[in-house]
Structure 1
Amino acid sequence: MTTSTSTFPEATPSSRVVLVTGASSGIGEATALRLASEGHRIVLGARRTDRLAALSSHIRAEGGRAGHRRLDVTDAADVRAAVDDTVAEYGRIDAIVNNAGVMPLARLDALLVDEWDRMIDVNVRGLLHGIAAVLPHFRRQGAGHVVTVASVGAHEVVPTSAVYSATKFAAWAITEGLRLESEPGIRVTTISPGVVESELADHISDPHAQDAMRVYRRNAMPADAIARAISYALGQPADVDVNEIVVRPVGQR
């Protein structure tokens, strides 16, 4: 008989099967770690499979349950296959955390049309693909939880954020519409983070936006702050739906 040294709890009948998109870094990685530490079964999805493999191995080494797969949220068939494969393996899917997103900020007159298209593809279409993939299973199960990671950019616009804020307002609106339309048993939550320590700002190519972001990010909170908010929403009783949580660092007003 061996003695376990795991730091994560054993899976229990109340453990949920959760698919996390954009799980290779930042909020997605922190969410996977936190939910796994709480005994949930995690499926990690992102394009960088080397990082996913390292993260899932770490979770399993700590006694948690995690698997991973390459996932491109802009590909509807790929997202549908990820969800269907999760159900085939575990018998169900209880929640999806729609976290994948990009933020190449720039003024509109920089005319970075390719970057606009990329934000729309990932931040809006990627969310819709996740919703379309899980809803049939949630309706069949009579239960499920959709969590969308939006942004405070869904509620405000600053110079350089016009397109990004538009995509995050769209994410907020789509998720709110889903909440209003959903059948009993299906819960819907929007998490709107302020400035978070992540790689999002690394995607900014416009030099003016880079300079502004360096100042803006002086007050940033750890990604686990958002993971805790997601955990709180998922952990509520079945008859409680946390509609939206806005989380900012104290230094961001």
Structure 2
Amino acid sequence: MTSPLTATAALVTGASSGIGRATALELARLGSSVAVVARRLDRLDTLVAEITDAGGTALAISADVSERDQAEQAVSTAVEHFGRLDILVNNAGLMLLGRVCDVDVDEWDQMIAINQKGLLYTTHAAVPHLLDAAKDGPRQVADIVNISSLAGRTTFPTSGVYSMTKFGVNGFSEALRQELAPDHVRVGVLEPGKVDTELDSHNNAEILADIEKNFGGFTMLDPHDIADGVAYMVTRPAHAAIGELWVMPTAQA
């Protein structure tokens, strides 16, 4: 029996841990060749070995997608290696929380660079190849999935700039969806609630204590829950598109 993503190629950013890692594993399980992109090459090599050992195909690409030349080169390397690109998952992200009056402004620059510029650079480089895949590939469709956040739907004290970046991702995704839909490139945004990943770990002790107070009492999502959502979005038949998917812990609903 043919897997639903057989003969496709995908690129996943932020693939060294958490949602990106789980998504790469799931897309490979479904038959896609996967380029995994992040800065930590040692972790990518371990992921590639895991995918290969399970019978899949993967390529590790060390890159900081917030740097335009590195994002463009990552896409070029993936296309040169696999000969095509059918799926892009923009997952790389950073969450640094803090009150506007207290925060280090350099942290804002870091979030904007990764959460927005990295997504823009990678998407811009990938779109021509996705258009080719949709036109000439056996599926007659290609996919972009942008990982946003519930913080892109609502906000709270300390999340101002993080929310700004994710509201921006949602707005960009909607405009791009309308631009590319006529050419059968589907653009969807997936907004996770609280997921058990390393995302919190870059924050200071006070913020971590607040996170524990607010979220420590219920079962968080596992990264594979989000990977399952990505897989659902990219395996719909060519005539069906998922523009937005909102996934959260039941206790957070």
TM over 0.5: yes
Range 12-21 or range 162-171, more displaced: 12-21
Contact 1:10 1:63 in 2 (8 A): no
Tell me if structure 1 keeps the 8 A contact 2:19–2:227: yes
Match of 2:207 among 199, 209, 227: 209
What's the offset of the Cα at 1:14? 3.4
Q: Is 1:86 aligned to residue 78 of structure 2?
A: yes
- Of the three residues 137, 143, 146, the one matched with 1:145 is 143
Following superposition of structure 1 onto structure 2, how do residues 161-176 of structure 1 map, counting pairs within 5 Å? 161-176=159-174
- Contact 1:15 1:41 (8 Å CA) reproduced: yes
Q: Provide Cα deviations, 1:127-177, integer angstroms capped at 9, x if missing partner.
A: 101110111222334342111000000011111101101100001111111
Matches of 1:86 and 1:149, distance apart in 2: 20
| 1:28-52 Cα deviation digits (max 9, x unpaired) | 0111111111121111000000100
Gaps of 5+ in 1: 1-8
CA distance in 2, matches of 1:71, 1:113: 24
* 1:19 paired to 2:11: yes
1:117 aligns with 2:109: yes
Cα deviation 1:47-89 (Å, max 9, x = unaligned): 0001000110111011111111102110111111111121112
Deviation at 1:123, TM superposition (A): 0.3
Amino acid at match of 2:35: V
Residues 191-210 of structure 1 aligned to structure 2 (within 5 Å):
191-205=190-204, 207-210=205-208
Deviations 1:197-231, CA, capped at 9 Å, x for gaps: 100000112x4322211123323110100000000
What's the offset of the Cα at 1:13?
A: 7.8
- Are the equivalent residues in 2 in contact too, given 1:36–1:65 (CA < 8 A)? yes
1:126 aligned residue: 118
Give the TM-score normalised by structure 2.
0.92
**1:68 is the counterpart of 2:51:** no
Partner SS for 1:109: coil
Corresponding position of 1:188: 187
Cα pair distance change 1:12/1:223, threshold 3 Å:
closer
Q: Identity, % of aligned pairs?
A: 37
TM-score, with length taken from structure 1: 0.92
Q: Give CA-to-partner distance per residue, 1:94-149, whole Å, 9 cap, x none.
A: 01100000001111111310111100000010110111011122233434211100
Q: Cα gap change, 1:109/1:132 in structure 2, threshold over 3 Å: closer, same or farther?
A: same
2:239 aligns with 239
2: CA distance, partners of 1:222 / 1:180: 31
1:110 alignment partner, SS class: coil
